[in-house]
Amino acid sequence: MKQQWKQRISPWVLQGSRQWMRLWGRRKPLWLAIAVCALGGLFLGSLLSRTVQSTLSVTNDAVANPTPPGLRQSSLMFTEASDRPRTLVKPTKAVARRGMVAQKAPRLDRVVGDRSTDCAASPQQSRNPKSLMALQNLPLNRFRVSAGQTRGPVAEQANVAHYTNFGWRFLADWKGRSALYEPIVVLHETVGSFESVMNMFSSNHPDDEDQVSYHALIRESGDIVYVVPPEYRAYGAGDSVFVNAAYQEETVQTKSQSPPSVNNFAYHISLVTPEEGQNDEDTHAGYTRNQYEALAWLVSKTGVPDDRITTHKLVDRSGTRIDPRSFNAPYFLSRLHAYPRTQEVVIGCTLMDSPPPPKAT
């Protein structure tokens, strides 16, 4: 029986395979082309279905959860002690639009105007960091356009950080996606003494993990010391995300091996910690009236709206930062509202009417 079955089948198989070999030999290019097309089609199909799926799931999530779970709004309006809103800020249409635009498409048109020339296009196309060396002994109007023209309640001075402790702001992240967000102000405290942090900023730090800076420091007397010009990126926060009033996360990854951070669009201001607070306790005596006044005055000159003023603690994602401790946000905001908002501190790339950017060395 078995024998019979084999005898009947095998000639048929043999003949078929011979026929196939003949066809293959004659039409090899055709078969290959068909195979390549089929594989390409499969690949394209899977790509397309994945895109449709992700679009759909995003839309569904947005409808089901207008407030994404786990997202904590990181505006100063939300008190740090209880994590509950003191003043509920409804996302305005304007803010929602800003956030959406920032995430969807690069608004290069806004930046490629008269204040973009100092920006580096992307981390890959970063300018020579050593060209930042030229930025020593800058005049005060590189930190605040009208410095010297209007008298504030404070004394200002400039003491630029070592060039290893700050960098260019980027138009795109390391993957080439838009890195353009509206500016935010991030508040800090020094924890260490004024002298110790100034010493840190002016030291040569070749290793990434040692590089640190703020844009400005506010001493207990209320004196402001500018450390990094506002068009450059100060290294004030590591692993960090700003959640805007529309609950969208804003952050920029500038290196594949480092976590994303808010530095690319942040203006970092640090209050000098009182001497009795130079430790790792949760609270201290707080800041002087002069410090609040100078801080309110300086923030008013950045033009940054209330809902984009935040603290290091609120943007931190490393779980290690709690500064500024003992900060009286309602008092600060009441002082802030006493000053007219201007845009004398330009958190962009190039100050208008500023000296030409330094040439790469």
Binding segment for Zn ion (CB under 5 A), chosen from 1-9, 158-166, 245-253, 321-329, is: 321-329
Does 317 bind Zn ion (CB under 5 A)? Our answer is no
Q: Which is nearer to Zn ion, 154 or 197 (CB)?
A: 197
**Secondary structure letter of residue 133 according to DSSP:** G
Q: Which is nearer to Zn ion, 144 or 312 (CB)?
A: 312
Minimum CB distance to Zn ion, residue 324 (Å)? 7
CA distances from 141 to 34, 145, 153, 350 (A): 68, 5, 17, 12
Binding segment for Zn ion (CB under 5 A), chosen from 57-65, 296-304, 310-318, 337-345, is: 310-318
Does 312 bind Zn ion (CB under 5 A)? Our answer is yes
Size of the site for Zn ion (CB under 5 A): 3
Binding segment for Zn ion (CB under 5 A), chosen from 34-42, 67-75, 323-331, 347-355, is: 323-331
Minimum CB distance to Zn ion, residue 186 (Å)? 8
Does 325 bind Zn ion (CB under 5 A)? Our answer is no
Report whether 234 contacts 227 (CB < 8 A). yes
Dihedral of CA atoms 63, 65, 67, 70 in degrees, nearest 10, equals -150
Minimum CB distance to Zn ion, residue 175 (Å)? 27
**Secondary structure letter of residue 87 according to DSSP:** S
**Secondary structure letter of residue 230 according to DSSP:** T
Q: Please, which residues have CB within 8 angstroms of residue 131's CB and are 6 or more apart in sequence?
A: 358, 359, 360, 361
Interacting residue with Zn ion among 98, 188, 219, 317 (CB under 5 A): 188
Minimum CB distance to Zn ion, residue 311 (Å)? 8
Spatial separation of the C-alpha atoms in residues 23 and 118, rounded to whole Å: 65
Minimum CB distance to Zn ion, residue 323 (Å)? 4
- DSSP notation for 276-289: GG-SS-S--S---H
State the residues that interact with Zn ion by CB under 5 A. 188, 312, 323
